[in-house]
């Protein structure tokens, strides 16, 4: 199947999953448990939506592999592996805040070739296939051409570990007086898609998992953005964690240098 075919399958599955997410966002009766820390939640909807996505993808392509935030892990034999975040931005989802999203990427032999991010509460669907550009709700999108850090609107996010957050706060304190402003949406996939469509000039975040960035990074790069790491490592989908930087080409070097100066580590 071509990258466009994989994107279209992801689009159909993520659209159905996004409707489930929208129907339960902010519901008072969500069953919530925690993962890495007391502030790292998972709901029964994360698990149900992951199961729905995996069964739909494997019904269409039974030999594929899957990797999901909520535990799906199957190697597959076709060379295609789906990387799934059933609800990226689970805290936003719990509170009913737009930005919580369904993120699905397809990697072929470790390279992401298709990505879809559905943000149902904003009514945004971002999609990309490698070499074919990126769209929001079917319309082509491009990143901004901002080059001046002082005029750059920069998104970021914070992990769940308090020790990590202390370090992230120090980096943020270094950045804040040197950029236009900072935004914290609560979902990495949306930050990357917002770089893609010009709602942010740049984005960085420490220690993202592949399911957080795989789909959004392809959307951003297909919209003309540079997506990399602070330490300039490559971005295979199998990388367990990565500190991601994304922006239009003119801003990328200055933003990465600023993060280096702020003590952000690869």
Instruction: Select the residue interacting with ligand LIP from 50, 64, 205, 222 (CB under 6 A).
Output: 205
Contact between 216 and ligand LIP (CB under 6 A)? no
Report the residue number, 90 or 221, with the smaller CB distance to ligand LIP.
Answer: 90
- What residues from 22 to 61 belong to the interface with ligand LIP (CB under 6 A)? none
* Shortest distance (Å) from residue 165 CB to ligand LIP: 9
Measured at the alpha carbon of residue 90, what is the angle toward residues 126 and 191, in degrees to the nearest 5? 40
Report the residue number, 107 or 215, with the smaller CB distance to ligand LIP.
Answer: 215
Residue nearest to ligand LIP (CB): 157
How far apart CA 147 and CA 151 sit, in angstroms, is 8
Contact between 89 and ligand LIP (CB under 6 A)? yes
Measured at the alpha carbon of residue 181, what is the angle toward residues 176 and 186, in degrees to the nearest 5? 95
Q: Give the count of residues interacting with ligand LIP (CB under 6 A).
A: 13
* Shortest distance (Å) from residue 210 CB to ligand LIP: 12
222 in Cβ contact with 248 (< 8 Å): no
Contact between 214 and ligand LIP (CB under 6 A)? no
Cα–Cα separations (whole angstroms), residue 221 to 40, 148, 157, 248: 29, 20, 19, 9
Contact between 11 and ligand LIP (CB under 6 A)? no
* Shortest distance (Å) from residue 25 CB to ligand LIP: 13
Report the residue number, 49 or 223, with the smaller CB distance to ligand LIP.
Answer: 49
Give long-range contacts, CB 8 A cutoff, 24+ apart: 71-80: 79/108, 79/109, 80/1, 80/6, 80/106, 80/107, 80/108
| Cross-strand partners of 202 | 154, 247
Contact between 202 and ligand LIP (CB under 6 A)? no
- What residues from 132 to 191 belong to the interface with ligand LIP (CB under 6 A)? 157-160, 187-188
262 in Cβ contact with 175 (< 8 Å): yes
Give the binding site for ligand LIP (CB under 6 A).
69, 85, 88-90, 157-160, 187-188, 205, 212
């Amino acid at each position: 199947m071509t990258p466009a075919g994989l994107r279209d399958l992801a689009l159909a599955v993520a659209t159905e999953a996004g409707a489930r997410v929208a129907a339960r966002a902010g519901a008072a009766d969500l069953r919530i448990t925690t993962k890495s820390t007391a502030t790292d939640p998972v709901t029964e909807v994360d698990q149900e939506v992951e199961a729905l996505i995996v069964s739909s993808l494997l019904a269409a392509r039974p030999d594929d592999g899957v990797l999901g935030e909520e535990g799906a892990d199957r190697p597959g034999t076709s060379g295609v592996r789906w990387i799934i975040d059933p609800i990226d931005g689970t805290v936003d989802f719990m509170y009913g805040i737009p930005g919580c999203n369904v993120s699905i990427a397809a990697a072929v032999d470790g390279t992401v070739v298709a990505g879809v991010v559905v943000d149902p509460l904003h009514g945004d669907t971002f999609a990309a296939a490698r070499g074919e550009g990126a769209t929001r709700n079917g319309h082509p999108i491009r990143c901004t051409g901002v080059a001046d850090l002082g005029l750059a609107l920069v998104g970021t996010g914070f992990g769940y570990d308090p020790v990590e957050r202390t370090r992230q706060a120090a980096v943020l304190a270094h950045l804040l007086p040197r950029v236009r402003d900072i935004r914290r949406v609560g979902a990495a996939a949306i930050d990357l898609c917002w770089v893609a469509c010009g709602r942010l000039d740049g984005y960085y975040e420490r220690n993202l998992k592949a399911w957080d960035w795989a789909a959004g990074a392809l959307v951003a790069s297909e919209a003309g953005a540079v997506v990399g790491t602070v330490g300039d490592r490559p971005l295979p989908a199998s990388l367990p964690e990565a500190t991601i930087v994304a922006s239009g080409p003119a801003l990328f070097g200055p933003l990465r240098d600023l993060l280096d100066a702020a003590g952000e580590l690869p």
